[in-house]
Chains A and B, each alone.
Chain A
Amino acid sequence: MSIVIPPPPDFTTHEEEAAEFNSAASSRTWYHYLLIFAALLFGAVSVGFVGTIVWNSAPEWAHHTGTLLGGNGWQSPLGPFGGLAMIVGTLETSVIALVIAVVIGLGTSISIVFLIPRRFRNVVATFVELLAAVPSVVYGLWGFLVLAPWMLKTVIPWLNSWPFAKELFGNVGQEDGQSLLLASIVLAVMILPTFVAISREVISVVPNDLIEASLSLGATRWQVIREVVLPTAKIGLFGATFLALARATGETVAVALVAGGVANVQFHLLYPGTSIAAWIATEFGEAQGNEVAALMALGVLLMLVNFGLSLISRWLVSRQRKVLAVV
């Protein structure tokens, strides 16, 4: 009779189990496979998202790259389909909107953080975030039915009294209210809440120690803001700017309603124009054959611009986190 020594029970230590838990790859349960499956599904969706749009635009890229990037004018059923007007229009409207929104938005977030009494600060912040959630079509509607007539009745006659108005804005007074300038204004109003919501947060996380230290050295309120708060928050503010720019370039229906929808390279801001996204929205309904491919090609351009902007903004925001961690 030999003594059978029972094998040691299968102990797993706490660390092992935690490690097993943390690396999902080692816990081979149906739950783990479900998670992997969902992740792969999302990966497939994102690849399909980029892939189908690029694939469907391929025929245009193959034959008419030059026209798409540098051609002016869009001949609807058969082509040529020039994308320059939309590219220029997108640049003009979003850059003007961005300049307005950043200058005003920065002042707004500074006053929300430093001027408004603590009691109301949360209310104002919530209000701003609610406004950022207002659907863009509502901003477009407001621009189209309220601002455009106002431009016609008030702003354009006023601009007409300027000496160089004609050279700057075009033949002032002959167009209806829809114009690139109006589109820029509506975009600015629209991205303001987005920009303020982010920049307010970036400014409000600047450590209080820094602010109090410089106040105790005798700095005035503005000196504290300029010398301490803004430099500390700088990178995050750049991130907010790029995010706002990404939103402005991608905006579709608001611009489609107020820009006028004319595919012509236009530097006079009171003339109607269009943007990439707005042009896709207005033309897609009647598009056939090659035109669909050309619109998809514009979509690829938009995607490249947007992805580039959001990568830059995310990189900046992560750098801001590191700056604050050092502080």
Chain B
Amino acid sequence: MSGMIELEEPKAAEHQMRDEIRQISDKVRRRRQLRSTMMVALCAIALCITAVPLFLLLYQLFNRGLPVVLHPGFYTQLPQTPNLITPNATGGISNAIIGTLVLSLYASIMAIPVGVLVGIYLAESDSKLAASLRVIAQTMAGAPSILMGLFAFSFIIRDLHIGFSALAGSFALAVLMLPVIIISSEIAVRGVPNTLREAGLALGAKPHKVSMKIVLPAALTGIVTGIILAISRAIGETAPVLLVIGGGYINSWKPLDPVAAMPLSIYENAKSEWPSLRTEVWGIALVLVVFVFVLSLSARIWASRKQQAR
């Protein structure tokens, strides 16, 4: 009899202890789960907080910009300054569109050849010069764009006495684009498999032939993507051109004329006292954003297509 009781009693205590442990661990687990759910929910809230202003920005841009950009004269007319008699006259932004195209064209002519060549050099040389140029390029890629404006002002306008012009503006933008093109070209050229190079060399091709006929075509996608991204960044920059292009009010393709630019028109019209100009400014911003989106999206899509093809 007593033996049975002795056997039963520890069993009951064990059960009780097990239950207690289970209860505690359940509590701990529930608390951990609750904590996890709460923190993950906080992250989701952060995502919403990020999304709200950015969606608002895009919505207001399209909402206020669309009525302006649907007017065909917006693209073909020169701007008019509103006055007391015609307070609603704004004209168009043909000078700013042409100015932006001119600036990015000349900047590309200056920056692309040098940038691609330096990128190839950095990828294929392991000299000290290459190492230090790489650090310089990476540092300059993040430099505040207003500094490019100060540089263009001191060098082109002060030292070379060229004056406020498209040339000075595109020089500033070229300095801005150079490091971006250099870095992306270097990455693209480094990405070409060494077996391709070795195959070319084994067939007896001279090193420079291999570099030009084999490596460069293989790296072309990456290089072009980098160039497009650099241009799309340069198109939107206000600060460097603000100091040096002079804000011309005519349509001109000549490098030595003062020109306008879309970002600059946005900056100046936004500060204007005239309500009509403040309405028009949303149209300019929409055109600019569409320009930039189309450029960077096409670069992205093209790059991914080519990658899949390979």
Contacts and interface: CB of A to CB of B under 8 A. Distances in A.
Interface of A: 14, 17-18, 20-25, 27, 29-32, 34-39, 41-43, 45-46, 48-49, 52-53, 55-56, 103-108, 110-112, 114-115, 126, 129-131, 133-142, 144-146, 189, 192-193, 196, 220-223, 225-226, 243, 246-247, 249-253, 256-257, 277, 280-281, 284-285, 295-296, 299, 302-303, 306-307, 310-311, 314
Contacts of B46: 103-108, 110-111
Contacts of B201: 14, 17-18, 21
5 contacts: A22-B126, A42-B178, A137-B266, A192-B50, A253-B239
Given A107-B47, A140-B270, 18 more contacts: A17-B207, A18-B201, A38-B114, A39-B133, A42-B118, A53-B151, A56-B158, A103-B46, A133-B233, A141-B266, A250-B144, A250-B145, A252-B146, A252-B242, A277-B144, A296-B154, A302-B144, A302-B147
A137 B32 contact: no
Interface in B125-178: 125-127, 129-130, 133, 136-140, 142-151, 153-155, 158-159, 175, 178
Given A17-B207, A38-B118, A189-B57, A49 B198 contact: no
Contacts, number: 274
A142 B278 CA distance: 11
B154 to A, nearest CB: 4
B285 interface: yes
A281 B242 contact: yes
Contacts of A126: 300
B257 to A, nearest CB: 19
A303 to B, nearest CB: 6
Contacts of B125: 23-25, 35
Interface of B: 32-33, 35-40, 42-47, 49-50, 53-54, 56-57, 60-61, 113-115, 117-118, 120-122, 124-127, 129-130, 133, 136-140, 142-151, 153-155, 158-159, 175, 178, 182, 197-198, 201-202, 206-208, 210-212, 232-233, 235-239, 242-243, 263, 266-267, 270-271, 278, 281-282, 285, 288-289, 292-293, 296-297, 300
Nearest to B143: A306
Contacts of B243: 281, 284-285
